[in-house]
Structure 1
Amino acid sequence: MNRASSSRLSELPQRVESNRMSMVYATPQSKQSFGKLNIPKPQSVTSERRTSFFGSRGTGMARNSAFGGTEKMKDPRPLHDKAYVQQCIRQLCEFLSEKGFPGSMSVKSLQSPSTKEFLKIFEFIYCLLDPTFQMPTSKVEEEVPRILKDLGYPFVLSKSSMYSVGAPHTWPQVLGAVVWLIDTVKVFCCMSDQDLLFADFSDGSTEIEDGVEFNKLFMEYTAETYNKFMQGADTFDEEDADYLAKLKRLYNVDEGLLTSMEEKYRILSGEVERLEKESQTDRLMVKRTEKVKLQTDLQKLQSYRSNLESFKANLENKASGLAEELEASGLQVETLKQEESRLQHILSTQKFTPADIERINWEKRELQQTINSLSKSLEQAEQHMWNEEIALAKAKETAEVKLAEYHKLARKLKLIPVSAENACGHDFEIRTSTEYGPSTMVQCRTQIQQLLRKLITDVDEECSRLTDMKLSLEESIEQVNSNISDKANDLKQLREQIRRLDEQLEQDMQDIAHEEQKWSAEMESVETHRKLLEKKVTLGYDESVEQLKAAQQQYHLVLQETNEERRTVVNNLASVLTTAANHLSIVEVSLHLAPNLPLIFILFLALIFLFTITT
């Protein structure tokens, strides 16, 4: 939308009143954000069709779009202004150094860059939009204008301008396209850093941040009114009323406060008018006003006098230069005439060959051409001298008129005659050169200049003193305002910190209460579990005591049975040993009777006998 910087895109007569634009921008918020559209105020022109750099619409539309058509747009930027071109070059150089351009670029090298350097710069800037871009090796003169056209560059960049980029007639247009591409990159970088263009809109409860809500309302209003405009509508009263209502709701506008402020403004305006009328009768104010006027007139007179002197000096220099040129031309003409007579004499007294005659004729033609050119130069010099004399006469007439104005102004300032109030006994009157001699004229001019300089010095000293006093007072006021704003900011920060601490304290109290409830519930559950464990332990202890008593009784019974069995075993063992001893005696006797039986068989029988007895 920033492409239309100053001229109206539509060339049809404007049907909607232009004062509606002031209503669109009449928002209570003075802060401007990046996201707001910069739409210029339309200006009506006399043409019978609308143009566009977005292409023509279909035939089914109610009217041609304000952006429709194929007519070439004229670039409103002053690309032929050297100062503007230098500004664009500095902007390009700063952008390249900021983004880390790999090559070495300076303002001097960008005055007339080569095509190779331009392609490197273009590829580097376009890679900021598309990192995968690579400059093609062929047909570059067609590729670069095509890329700019695809990006939406509203002006035509010819293919022939790519062959000689650094030419004086080509480089400003190419530089304008590069600067537009830089602006596009900056807009792209800013937009890519934003997560969301429009936040969710609520009924006045959302905090306005960087004008995002205003942008959303403005876009909705623009789209709705433009659709109705394309359908043939010329007035949008309902949309305007709805848009103003939304703005008032968005910015929390208080109608009562506005009314009271208007009434207060009316009262203050009346008071100011009354004070201004009263101040008009103040003689001191009148004198001060006259003093300011006189100082202004004196400055104008001084500047006019300096201009007149410089103009006179220039005329004198030009007249002396023309006289010298005229004298030199006359001498050159006399020299050429003498040379011609000498050559004529030589030609009449000597015999020449055909080659000499041809050479002499050729030299004669050259000399004739030189004479013609010098004659023309002489005529031009005479004409110039005549013009300068006329201009000098006019300058003298003008000087006389200015001298009369000077005398009139001096009389108003009471500097003329000598007995005037501000003359202080000095003669400020300037007479013509006919009334003075040359030395007297210079002396009078020097004397008047000294007196005027002294008078100007006195006035300037008084003005300087008053100006210094005013500046000191303004600095004091500015310092006080700065201190007030700093203290207000500090107070705002302290209030914000107090609010945050209150919120943190409230949150901590809620967390502590929640923790106390949690711990009390856990204590109740632990207490219940403890009581249940105590009950279970008591029951288990009683059962263990009963089991211990029963085990002790059973132990006594088992101990008695064991003692009985032990006595029985001891008795049986004693009987076994007695029997074994008897058996051994019997075996010994048997061994004496039967010595031939194997000893092993005897022992085996003894073991069997013992086993049987034991069992």
Structure 2
Amino acid sequence: MNPRRKTVSNNNPGNSRISFAGNRFQAEASGSNRNSIAPYNRMSIAPQQYNPPVGSNLNILRKTDSGRMTPMLSRTQNTSAFVPDSRNHPGNTLIKKVGIRMLTQTPAGKNTRIGNLDTISSKPPGTINTTIKSRGNLINIDPRPIRDAQFQADARRKITNYLISRRYEKEINARALENPTIKNIEDIFKFIYGRLDPLFRYSRKFEDDIFAILKVIEYPYIDTITKTMLRVPSSVNNWPTVLAFILWMTELNLIVENMESPNTYVDEFSGQNSSVRFEDKVFYQYLITTYPIWLNGNDEPPEVELDLAEQFELKSQHTSDENTHLENQLSSLKAELKQYQDSKSSLETQEELKSRLSTDITSLDGYLNKVEYKNSKTHQKIEALESELINMDTEYNSLCQNISNVNSILGKQSISIDEVDQMNMKRVHLCQVLGDAQTNLNTKKDELNAKETEIQRILDKIDQLEQTYNTGAKQIESHQAIHTNNNEKQPVQFPLSVIINTNSEDQHNLCKPNLKVEIQKNLYKVSELLLSQAFNLETTVFKTEEQINQLLDLRVELGESIDELEKQFRRAQETCAEIRSSIIDESVAPSMEINNLEKEIALIEKTITKMEQQAKHEYLTSKADSGLVTRKCGELNSNLNKEIVQSIDAILKMQTFIRTRLEETVMRLN
């Protein structure tokens, strides 16, 4: 069965139910009145005006109550079988127009002007209607996002693929459609419309041709297009609208090709494809064969009836196969519907996305808390840095003064790069010398401290010896005073026991022991003792004097060492002053780093503020998007369920229609 007989439309946009017109039995059952003889009107192969309901994703086809006048029915109603009814040829993409022309008014190949809405066509009479249907006062606004970059990219890609697949003679790509020229737009439009009407002849004003053609093919958003816009179609403001109707024409061609290609059949008589109904073609051939016989008054040969029955048998088989195919499609649609019902819906997906976004928002809140904590810490650090900065400013002012002095000195001198390198090398060398001098100074200080300790110990020892010497001298003086004091003899007492013998006649034996001998012995011992003590005292005094002389010499040496160390210290101080001046020169870089740190701190504060604002904005945006997605999912789910039910209803009606036709065909054959 040719579906070009079933997808005709109704002018009621609110009725979204699909019906199947073109059945003469259905027309007889409904009791519709048809004109038996009417001129053959010109028809457009463009699709009908598209008025989809809000939120619909499917093309809702309109219905019209259109009957057919077949040759058999025309014979029963005493009408001419060779003049088709003007209302009985609704096709898949054929729109019936209100203006009716006779066959002789617009023959194929007649050249008329496009301003009068007449065309030159290779189609048979009645394929393209040149009368524009009144659109009323309503203005259809294009609901497509024609100025969206993604929509334009998809449109360019679809148009490019269509042109390449249809062997467009010029080089074309998606990038060339981003900024096309007027010539490119004209060539593309002519090529696409040439697929609908190959022999259409254009006038000099191309914008008039485009506007008239869009009205003829009933572009649904013609109200948004003006001739002024079509004069400069490649401008930035006009190109999205032009791209939109070129995309619509491309989709129109694809629909026409897809609906005609698989549903045409080979004419068994001419060997060519045809879109005429099988019953009409068979009966036309039957009438062509039998009409001369009837005119001659002869009987019809039985082979004609047998041939007719055989053709209907083949058609019945073809219809049965097509019915099987439709049943398979119905089962696949049911399986797809079941799969869709079993699969996760878009609402659940959006709910999961919403939960993930909520988790992200929670993590973002935590991150914001961390940022605020770090911000407070940063403020504290900034305050500390400000205090340090004040101190550094003081040092910086002094450094600037030193730098100005150095610059004034350097300004008076002409120093080359080699001299600067030499000065840097000398500075490094002086730094090393300063380090060595500092080390030697510390070593000498340690040695000096050790020597001072040793000297102090020796001085203490000298004091002890001096005290000892003074004590000995006092003792010697006391002994000399005892023995020689103004040549006066002092009595010396010795412990002596004497025995006197008065009876002895010898003078030497008068007393025992002999006093003279004993006294001499004791005096000798005392003198020896005094002499030994005096000798020891002189030896001690001599040693003490030698030690004093050594200490004096050591003191002189230490004084010389201290003088030398003082000279080295002064030289080290001079070196330190030079190094300090070089360090002052090098302190410019830290000051610059401080300035950079201040700038970075200010940048961090701005970044933190910006991140807070951006995070709040993203949170509000994600919350609004979540609500919008939830609402859209509900609407899409309800619309999709309605469309699926309508599609299944249409399939069931198609199946019922096929079965009815098959039963009627079998009944007629029987």
TM-score bin (small chain): under 0.3
Higher relative contact order (CA 8 A, sep 6+): 2
Larger radius of gyration: 2
Normalising by structure 1, we get a TM-score of 0.27
Normalising by structure 2, we get a TM-score of 0.25
